[in-house]
Structure formats: C-alpha cells, structure tokens
Amino acid sequence: MIALKALGFNPAALKVIAMGVPSTRAQALVAGRVDATSLSVGTWVTIQRDPGVRILVDHNTYYENATVVEKVNAVTVKVMDEKPEHLRRFTAAILKASRYFAENQEAWVAAVTKRRPDVDRKDAADLWTGFKTAWAVNGLMNLDAYKKSADFFYQAAILEKVPRIEVADWTETRFVDDVLKEIGPYGKFDAPGRALR
C-alpha cells in the first residue's frame, strides 16, 4: 500500500483479498482469478513468459517507494552467548558467498539451476541481474533501513499490540562488524550504514 500511495495510486480503489503464499498468488494471476499481485523476483521468474502477465512496478521501484526490510537472520541469546565462533564463521561464509556470486554470474546460475532444476538457465541469469545490488556483501545490516522498517510496521498498526522495541534492542552487529574488519567492506553496494565497532 505504501508503494501504491507513493506512486500516486489510491489503494482504497482496490478490492484486496488474501491469497496465501507467493506461488499461489502467481497461479491465481496466470489463471485470471486476480487482476494483480505482488511477487518476489524469484516467483515472478516462474511466470514471466506467460503472455497474459506484465510487470506494473519493478522490484527496484517498489523498494525505493516502500523501503521495508522483511528478512533477517535471527538467533537466540543463548546461542549467541554459547556459540559466538560458529556465528562468526556463518556470517563470514554468507558475506564471502555473496561477494563471490555478486561477481560471478555463471557461478550463481550453476548453483541455482543445480538446486532448482525447475528454473532454466536464462531465468536464473535474469534473477542474478535482478539481485545484482541486493547481495549481502556487507551483511545487509543497515540500521537506518531497519529503523525505517520498524517505524513503518508500528505506524501501519501491524505491531499495534506489541510494545515498541528500538532497533538497538533487537540487533547485534558485532559478528558482521568483526567479519568486515577481517575481510574489509565491499565498496560497490550494501552500505553498512554505520562505523565499524
């Protein structure tokens, strides 16, 4: 709704219905049971060749107008206290893999098509292009983006029954910061948004 409003569309003019998971919404769109839906790039690629569907708002425009972080890696405090080295190694692996795939389209295509044989090579190459600036090369822990997202969820009453929790109370950047000190920040995209501790 935020993206629609930002793009000058009145969401009140829509009839919104619950359709379930993205793949179900994609199937409903292709079958003509709904006029429009939002999908991840990964789901879109599975229906992109259907002659009856078109992109109305691409993923970059959507994110620019509704900057909401929806996915994070979470761990219990117990695991964080008991297995810090495991978490540091996990974080290093994510950042290094992201950097490798961000620079190597063919490696990304090979990995995706091996894991997802239902996605053809051209579609996987299109996905890589779509993800080009979304890799977690610096950990995707920009706390300003987290704050904007948290503010949105509270203002939109999505968390109306939850006491307000500040970003600093539910984020821990030390693992990302330690890895970035070791391997250095990646300069092309994914700005850390903070000085490294």
* pLDDT tens readout for residues 144-184: 889 988 888 888 777 888 899 999 999 999 999 999 999 99
pLDDT per position as a tens digit, 53-79: 999 888 778 877 877 887 788 999 999
The residue written with tokens 């109305």 in the block is 56
- Cα gap 185→196, rounded to integer Å: 10
Residues 134 and 63: beta-carbon distance below 8 Å: no
Share of the chain above pLDDT 90, in %: 47
Contact 41, 130 (CB under 8 A): yes
Q: Are 41 and 23 in contact (CB under 8 A)?
A: no
Residues 73-125 have pLDDT tens digits of 899 999 999 999 999 999 999 999 999 999 999 999 999 999 988 888 988 89
Does the pLDDT at position 196 exceed 70?
no
Q: What is the pTM of this model?
A: 0.76
